[in-house]
Amino acid sequence: MTLPAFDYREPETLAEVLALLREHGDEARLMGGGTALTLMLRARLVRPSVIVSLARLGALVGIRANGHLEIGAMTTHRAVERSPLVRALAPLLAEACERVGSPPIRNMGTLGGNLATGEAASDPAPALLALDARVRLRGPEGERVLALDGFFRDFYETALGPEEVIVAIEVPPVPAGARAAFVKYTCLSEEERAVVSVAALLAMGRDGTVVEARIGLGAVGPTPFRARAAETLLVGHRPTVARAAAAADAAAAGTAPLDDRQGSAEYRREMTRVWVLRLVEQLAAGTA
């Protein structure tokens, strides 16, 4: 299927990008790597008159560490996956980016573009939620930083303003001694969208109790989200079999999945319970 007609712009500065967004308003659409936007254009889900590419904005590419891990929004999934800095400071994110689509998708798709799309089955988003990540946005009123946990609003809807651009993703240091793991479960090929993706992080105290728990879920609701009820059940307690099972039940109960070709909503809910339980037990035992 051919793409609808549109005007294509490749500005070289962020100021030019913001000026184009201001000029064209709702008729403009930002493009990062283009992997998600191309599919949406072909399906006629969006019909912009102007596409503003960020491909020439080198300032939005790169991975740095300055008290926290900072990843430019136009950094590809492949670059994140292979980055020694990411693997040292946030290996959970590297693991999640390694599961994004196919190698061509990882080589083209960008981390900022993935988040800006608001895809419920995003692979990096659950990991970033478990890492307590933030997004840095730039718009006509200047810069603001939002917790990723409050960034996703609804199906393909985020807190990104109509004239704003994601410029970077910030990942704070993980708690000392924390263990983390990621799983993307599919019923078809590994390149398919997830039935459920789970990212879990546990930090244990010297007495064996959980001092911090973060569980990010994807593909089982309108947006990626934190399983807060499950986290609450774990913090302050030893992660016994019964406690882990209760947390997994709470995580599953908090989902709102849809039926699709990979399974029913009930199946997705059950797989959420299964994988949250497995990850919590493995992290508690130090085997993940």
Is residue 72 within 8 A of residue 60, CB to CB? The reply is: yes
Please name which of 286, 284, 129 lies closest in space to residue 210, comparing C-alpha atoms.
284
pLDDT at residue 236 in the model: 96
Per-residue pLDDT of the chain (288 residues; tens, 9 = 90+): 688 888 999 999 999 999 999 999 889 989 898 888 888 888 788 888 899 999 999 999 999 998 899 999 999 999 999 999 999 999 999 999 999 988 889 999 999 999 999 999 999 999 999 999 999 999 999 999 999 999 999 999 999 998 999 999 999 999 988 999 999 999 887 778 899 999 999 999 999 999 999 999 999 999 999 999 999 999 999 999 999 999 999 999 999 999 988 889 999 999 999 999 999 999 998 887
CA distances from 90 to 127, 133, 170, 278 (A): 9, 11, 11, 21
Q: Which residue has the tokens 């798709």?
A: 109
- HSE on the CB side for 10, CA within 13 Å? 5
The DSSP bridge partners found for residue 282 are none
SS3 annotation, 247-269: HHHHHHHCCCCCCECCECHHHHH
pLDDT at residue 19 in the model: 95
**Sign of the torsion formed by the C-alpha atoms of 196, 104, 41 and 52:** positive
SS3 annotation, the chain: CCCCCCEEECCCCHHHHHHHHHHHHHHEEEECCCHHHHHHHHCCCCCCCEEEECCCCHHHCCEEECCCEEEECCCEHHHHHHCHHHHHHCHHHHHHHCCCCCHHHHHHCEHHHHHHHCCCCCCHHHHHHHCCCEEEEEECCEEEEEEHHHCEEECCEECCCCCCEEEEEEECCCCCCCEEEEEEECCCCCCCCCCEEEEEEEEECCCCCEEEEEEEEECCCCCCEECHHHHHHHECCCCCHHHHHHHHHHHHHCCCCCCECCECHHHHHHHHHHHHHHHHHHHHHCCC
